[in-house]
């Protein structure tokens, strides 16, 4: 049975190359293509693929948000990230969002096709450059704040740490030498990035291991 794939990437030439690569595999069928996260969601709803091959850096809705939203579907597809970035923050954020595999652009055609098959079969696949870091993530080694919350800026992590200690916006502002209004803006950004509704939920999230 053929593996049905949607490809999401904002570079037409790279998209064409992926289409050609996967088209050489007798057990893989590209059923949809998208240039951003919103279009990827639309293609998934339309075609109900087995797997989405997802870039992270796309205009409009990026790959991370799209992966998170895919996870909210009743029958979500598997997700294999194929992107330029191999930094820790991108890898951890993709895994937390719900990705099942992560490859860096530059992987060979054979590596990409093999990863598509493996992820579609229910396995987790990561390239050599990211495997050790992902292993550490899954084995539960103590994580630094920047590893636990990679989507937050350094300043937002400082605000979150103090928020988790129960400090008010005025107290946080005084400690960090910023205005309460700036603190409020940081808090709003933190809540959005952590996908929580209020300060209490953010505090609970921070205190989770």
- Cα–Cα distance, 194 to 202 (Å, whole number): 7
pLDDT of residue 145: 59
Record the pTM.
Answer: 0.65
Neighbours of 172 (CB within 10 A): 23
Identify the three-state secondary structure at position 122: coil
Which residue is associated with the tokens 């920047």?
A: 146
- Return the closest-CA partner of residue 78 out of 45, 107, 54: 54
Per-residue pLDDT of the chain (209 residues; tens, 9 = 90+): 899 999 999 999 999 999 999 999 999 999 999 999 999 999 999 999 999 999 998 999 999 999 999 999 999 999 999 998 877 677 878 888 899 999 988 888 999 999 999 999 999 888 765 665 565 555 554 455 566 788 888 889 889 988 988 889 999 988 888 899 999 999 999 999 998 889 888 888 887 75
- In this prediction, residue 150 carries a pLDDT of 85
d(CA 79, CA 206): 26
User: Per CATH, which fold does 3-138 belong to?
Assistant: Rossmann fold (3.40.50)
Residues of the chain with CATH 1.10.10.10: 145-207
Fold of 145-207: Arc Repressor Mutant, subunit A (1.10.10)
The pair of structure tokens assigned to 31 is 């059923």
Query: Which residues contact residue 25 at a Cβ distance below 8 angstroms, ignoring those fewer than 6 apart?
Result: 113, 116, 117
d(CA 112, CA 191): 35
Q: Where are the alpha helices (DSSP H) in the chain?
A: 12-23, 37-47, 63-70, 88-97, 109-120, 128-138, 145-148, 154-164, 169-176, 180-194, 199-207
Per-residue model confidence (pLDDT) at position 47:
97
Residues of the chain with CATH 3.40.50.2300: 3-138
Element (H, E) at 197: none
């Amino acid at each position: 049975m053929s593996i049905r794939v949607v490809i999401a990437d904002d570079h037409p030439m790279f998209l064409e190359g992926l289409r050609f690569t996967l088209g050489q595999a007798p057990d893989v069928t590209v059923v949809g293509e998208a240039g951003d996260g919103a279009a990827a969601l639309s293609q998934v709803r339309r075609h109900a693929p087995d797997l989405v091959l997802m870039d992270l850096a796309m205009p409009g809705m990026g790959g991370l948000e799209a992966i998170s939203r895919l996870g909210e579907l009743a029958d979500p597809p598997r997700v294999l990230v194929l992107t330029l970035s191999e930094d820790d923050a991108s890898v951890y954020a993709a895994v937390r969002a719900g990705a099942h595999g992560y490859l860096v652009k530059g992987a060979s055609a054979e590596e990409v096709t093999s990863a598509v098959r493996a992820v579609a079969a229910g396995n987790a696949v990561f390239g050599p450059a990211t495997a050790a870091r992902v292993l550490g993530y899954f084995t539960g080694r103590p994580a630094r704040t920047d590893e636990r919350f990679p989507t937050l800026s350094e300043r937002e992590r400082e605000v979150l740490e103090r928020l988790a200690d129960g400090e008010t916006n005025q107290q946080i502002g005084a400690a960090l030498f910023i205005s309460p209004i700036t603190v409020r803006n940081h808090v709003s950004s933190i809540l959005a990035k952590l996908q929580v509704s209020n300060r209490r939920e953010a505090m609970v999230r921070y205190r989770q291991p």
